[in-house]
Amino acid sequence: MQPNKPRKHQPGLVTRFMARHLETILSIPGSKLYRSFVAAARDTRATQERLLREILHYAGDTAFGREHRFGAVATPEQFRAAVPVRDYEGLLPYIERHINGEAGVLFPGKPLMYNQTSGTTAKAKLLPVSPYAFERTIKNRGKLWLYGLMRDFPGVYAGKDFTLVSPSVEGHTPDGTPYGSLSGLVYQNIPEFIKLVHTIPYSAMTIADHRAKVYTLLRCALGANVTIILTGNPSTVLNFVRRADEAKEELIRDIHDGTLDPTLELDPAIRAEVESTLEPDPERAAELERLAGSAQRFTPALYWPNLKLVHTWTNGNCGLLIPKLREWFAPETPILDFGYIASELTATDLIDKQSGGSILQIQNGYYEFAHVDDGDSPDRRFLLADELEVGERYFIYVTTLSGLYRYEMNDVLEVVGHFDTAPVVRFLYKGKGITSITGEKLSEDQLIEAMAIASRETGVGYEFFMGYADVERQRYSLYVEFPADTSPARRREFQLAVDEALACVNVEYRAKRASERLAPLELLPLRRDSFERYRALRLAEGAHDGQFKWMHLSGLDHTRERMDQLVEGSIRKAS
């Protein structure tokens, strides 16, 4: 053991007792919240209308509320007439007033924090979180969520959890308000006795170097009896289990010695905190060494044999990763969808394991929907949560206690069932002009901007291009028609420049590339006159000449199939 290692903090007897009986203790508030939700779901329309009135009253004396005459609004129809649908760009002037220090713009007072996510322009989206929303709908969200998991999967908290979140603070706005990950803030604010079931101290989540972070988190978790894995993105889980196999010898040695690899690039304060939680464990190390030698791969099925649940996204594009993830776990270990959770709003708490969907949380947000076939039509009919039909697909618009009003999520949901009168929904895909392989939410505007940046920086021009989100291979394919005299070396220079520019214009793309959840951009040079060839293909398929449209970014297989026909030599290969 290292001589200067800080003394390990010992929690109190009561705290340790509560941690050992976590499922029993959580069932007390959890069952109460569950009964409340069951009662609310008996009449979804009434629940939603009460919540709308609460939101209107709460924000009535704000700049937005006065401008839209919230005081005169009493019904869903009046609300729809008073407030237009907006996306983030439409709401940005109000958000910027908060960012610059103004209070009472979208909600009373100032934001507690901003939840950061990728935007459709170079700047990241900063979504305000009101103090009231945090206390009312977020802080204790886990009680109902975990209660639902414990009902369906008894024993998920018989051991430890392996929970992964992002840092709560990535920076500060001009008025000093922090922005970062809301999940990180929630992780920091849970009761002390629940923290005891975490295998990972929060500070380890803030490690900047990705490979050092992954190793440190694995070092903290591999010595424990983990019974549940909790993280939104399956690519994150896949990355971790692969890394555990690659670094098993070093990890087992550290577990034996009670150390953390001294070569890792870690902030000294973080290293000290993590090391204070570690103890030599020769017995566990011997067990892991035996398990590692007993099979071709070192998998969670071996080192976490009591694992009851992997809780991660399984719907949308993430579904294509689940077969790869499944190979690492025991056949009987369930992999359950994480639910419909977005940066704007946690819209579900309870998961329906039979349908693979999740029950709309009708107590936390006010929702409107439009059928996916109506698109942006000015005549689209807006529906309320109790009006949705099983088997149909809808765009969702949310109104929240954090200042989003009739906010266009650009998400397509499918209704897969009902919980009394509340809909059970399943996320399908991002809507217009946005793709997302592993949570980066790349927009067509961002790709266009990145192409322009790369062209300016390299001096390489292009005639026509199309981007394809290749979920199966976890990378973007970029089809480009270059001028005839562009050399292979110059093409390669342009390829690297676009990849770097995408990281600049989309913070999530940068994070996913840094964490190896996205592979490097692939470049596929196109033949001469590819736009005209593409146009001819579309017209041959039945597109009308006068209404011919295309997008520069797509995740649809038929887009890839068309573009592959235009690649030089018509043989698709990585460059």
| In contact, 309 and 149? CB cutoff 8 Å | yes
pLDDT, greater one: 474 or 16 = 474
Question: So what's the pLDDT on residue 348?
Answer: 93
User: Which residues are CB-contacts of 89 (< 8 A; sequence separation ≥ 6)?
Assistant: 120, 121
Question: So what's the pLDDT on residue 192?
Answer: 62
Q: Per-residue confidence at 57, pLDDT binned at 50, 70, 90?
A: very high
| In contact, 317 and 244? CB cutoff 8 Å | no
Q: Please name which of 322, 324, 347, 327 lies closest in space to residue 337, comparing C-alpha atoms.
A: 322
Question: So what's the pLDDT on residue 13?
Answer: 47
pLDDT, greater one: 328 or 238 = 328
pLDDT, greater one: 136 or 404 = 404
Mean per-residue pLDDT, 39-57:
97
Instruction: Evaluate if residue 568 carries a pLDDT over 70.
Output: yes
Cα distances (angstroms) measured from residue 567 to each of 210, 466, 477, 571? 35, 11, 12, 7
Note the pLDDT tens digit of each residue in 385-408: 999 999 999 999 999 999 999 999
Average pLDDT, the chain: 88
Instruction: Evaluate if residue 124 carries a pLDDT over 80.
Output: no
Instruction: Evaluate if residue 12 carries a pLDDT over 60.
Output: no
Percent of the residues in the chain that have a pLDDT greater than 70, as a whole number: 91
Question: So what's the pLDDT on residue 197?
Answer: 78
| In contact, 162 and 200? CB cutoff 8 Å | yes
| In contact, 467 and 552? CB cutoff 8 Å | yes
pLDDT, greater one: 227 or 315 = 227
Q: Per-residue confidence at 20, pLDDT binned at 50, 70, 90?
A: low
Q: Per-residue confidence at 498, pLDDT binned at 50, 70, 90?
A: very high
Q: How far apart are CA 430 and CA 419, in angstroms?
A: 25
- Of 463-467, 533-537, 560-564, minimum mean pLDDT range: 533-537
Instruction: Evaluate if residue 95 carries a pLDDT over 80.
Output: yes
